[in-house]
């Protein structure tokens, strides 16, 4: 499991802080050329998790300005939510946006030019390569779009911000798999919030046809660990919002349907397993990597533990073979 790490200037000599933070910032974010307010003392702390190419963190700092001085190996997309202070972001070409507490911004590293943090600045941020993000989020960043309010009353956007805040709060209690799942759920919610609702309602027959097609796709890709609402929407050239709307009247969300089908596949394989097969083998085969969560979900679904189903199936076949 990757660990949550903290970097802070607390206790460091003030004259060492600018160089130390400039170096750390380029490793945890982008290659920014930073400027610090004089003669005020400057302090900063960042708490973060890194998982493959994903970085999620919480940043606190004083007044700070930065200009992008070096590009990353590939284009990145960032999502940031301002919790306190103010942040001015300027794009290549001269446009700019200002964020206050309760604002969210999706930005593209190839368009970012400079920023200025004012006051006691605190933000949540997430960085991921552009090609790893849902199309709607990457598209929003590429348009150098405006600020999205995530204050109470902002609907799905507010829920997405709350999910990101929960992820950072639970850093120490999330396995790598849990962090990936939570981040994907955040992306799904944010993508749905960013995509406008369709002007014309989709007919019931069209929704039913889409549900049938997507559920068939889910059945064919149950063993794909990356199967999720975003990957399904991309496969059908849909927005995540359209996909969720189609499934809204079925009694099961896309994520819940995937989990239920995977659990049933596990039950089937465990009940038919031969000697040498383990619960872990079956769970991993169908996309479960956290055994504690798998066992809990399995027992809730079937009233039996996975190991009990495995043993019953093996005993049943042993009796049949002996007979």
- Over residues 220-267, the pLDDT tens digits come to 999 898 888 888 988 998 888 888 888 887 878 888 899 999 999 999
pLDDT band at 317 (very low <50, low <70, confident <90, very high): low
The reported pLDDT for the residue numbered 256 is 87
In a domain, 290, yes or no: yes
**Domain's final residue, options 256, 280, 299:** 256
Predicted local confidence at residue 80, as pLDDT: 94
- pLDDT for residue 73: 66
- Residue 62: which pLDDT band, with cuts at 50, 70 and 90? confident
Asked if the structure places residue 88 within a domain, the reply is yes
Q: Please tell me whether residues 9 and 128 are part of one structural domain.
A: yes
The pLDDT assigned to 145 comes to: 67
Co-location of 147 and 268 in the same domain: no
216/186 same-domain check: no
pLDDT one-digit tens code per residue, 118-159: 888 999 999 998 888 877 788 888 876 678 999 999 998 999
- 106 confidence band (pLDDT: 50, 70, 90): very high
Does a structural domain hold residue 116?
Answer: yes
Distances 80 to 129, 161, 190 between C-alpha atoms, Å:
15, 9, 12
Q: How many helices (H) and strands (E) does the chain have?
A: 11, 10
Q: State residue 247's pLDDT score.
A: 86
pLDDT range class, residue 269, cuts 50, 70, 90: very high
- Asked if the model's pLDDT at residue 314 lies above 90, the reply is no
Residue 186 tokens, joined: 């955040």
Do residues 153 and 300 share a domain? no
Shared domain check, 91 and 16: yes
Domain CATH number, residue 40:
2.60.120.10
In this structure, the dihedral spanned by the alpha carbons of residues 165, 171, 172 and 174, taken in order and rounded to 10 degrees, is 110
Average pLDDT of the chain to the nearest whole number: 85
In CATH, what number is assigned to the domain containing residue 224? 1.10.10
List the domain range (segments joined by +) for residue 289.
Answer: 257-322
Same domain? For 64 and 174 the reply is yes
Structure tokens at 35: 């400027």
Based on the domain organization, do 44 and 145 belong to the same domain?
yes
What's the pLDDT score for residue 43?
A: 80
The answer, yes or no, to whether residue 5 has pLDDT greater than 70, is yes
Identify the CA nearest to 63 among candidates 14, 13, 114, 115.
115
- The pLDDT of residue 274 is 78
Q: Give pLDDT, residue 139.
A: 81
pLDDT the model gives residue 131: 84
- 153 and 248, same domain (yes or no): no
Q: What is the mean pLDDT of residues 177-184?
A: 86
Residue 199 lies in a domain: no
User: Do residues 249 and 261 both lie within one domain?
Assistant: no
Contact 59, 125 (CB under 8 A): yes
Q: How many domains does the chain have?
A: 3
Percent of the chain whose predicted confidence (pLDDT) is above 70: 91
Query: Is residue 237 domain-shared with residue 289, that is, in the same domain?
Result: no
> Could you tell me if 229 and 176 lie in one domain?
no
Domain of 279, CATH number, reads 1.10.10.60
Q: Write the pLDDT tens digit of every residue in 271-307.
A: 988 778 899 999 999 988 778 888 888 998 899 999 9
Which of 237, 256, 275 represents a domain boundary (last residue)?
256
Q: Is residue 296 situated within a structural domain? A: yes
Domain identity same for 34 and 107 = yes
Give the residue from 147, 173, 194 where a domain finishes. 194
- What's residue 178's pLDDT? 85
Specify the residue for token string 């790490």.
Answer: 5
Contacts of 205 (CB under 8 A, 6+ apart): none
Indicate the pLDDT class of residue 219, thresholds 50, 70 and 90.
Answer: very high
């Amino acid at each position: 499991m990757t660990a949550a790490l903290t970097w802070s200037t607390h206790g460091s000599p003030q004259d060492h802080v600018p160089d130390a933070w400039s170096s750390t910032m380029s490793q945890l974010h982008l290659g920014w050329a930073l400027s610090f307010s004089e003669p005020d003392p400057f302090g900063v702390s960042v708490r973060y998790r890194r998982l493959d190419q994903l970085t999620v963190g919480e940043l606190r700092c004083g007044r700070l300005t930065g200009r992008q001085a070096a590009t990353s190996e590939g284009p990145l997309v960032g999502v940031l939510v301002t919790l306190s202070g103010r942040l001015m972001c300027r794009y290549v070409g001269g446009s700019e946006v200002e964020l206050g507490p309760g604002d969210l911004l999706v930005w593209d590293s190839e368009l970012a030019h400079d920023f200025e943090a004012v006051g006691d600045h605190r933000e949540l941020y997430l960085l991921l390569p552009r090609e790893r993000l849902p199309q709607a989020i990457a598209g929003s960043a590429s348009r150098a779009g405006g600020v999205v309010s995530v204050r109470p009353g902002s609907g799905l956007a507010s829920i997405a911000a709350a999910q990101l805040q929960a992820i950072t709060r639970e850093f120490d209690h999330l396995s790598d798999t849990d962090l990936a799942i939570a981040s994907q759920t955040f992306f799904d919610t944010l993508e749905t919030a960013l995509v406008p609702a369709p002007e014309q309602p989709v007919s019931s027959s069209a929704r039913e046809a889409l549900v049938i097609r997507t559920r068939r796709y889910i059945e064919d890709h149950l063993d794909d660990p990356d199967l999720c609402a975003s990957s399904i929407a991309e496969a059908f050239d849909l927005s995540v919002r359209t996909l969720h709307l189609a499934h809204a009247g079925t009694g099961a969300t896309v994520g819940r349907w995937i989990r239920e089908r995977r659990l049933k596949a596990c039950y089937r394989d465990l009940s038919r397993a031969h000697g040498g097969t383990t619960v872990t083998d079956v769970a991993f085969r169908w996309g479960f990597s956290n055994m504690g969560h798998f066992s809990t979900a399995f027992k809730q679904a079937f009233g039996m533990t996975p190991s009990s189903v495995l043993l019953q199936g093996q005993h049943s076949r042993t009796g049949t073979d002996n007979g």
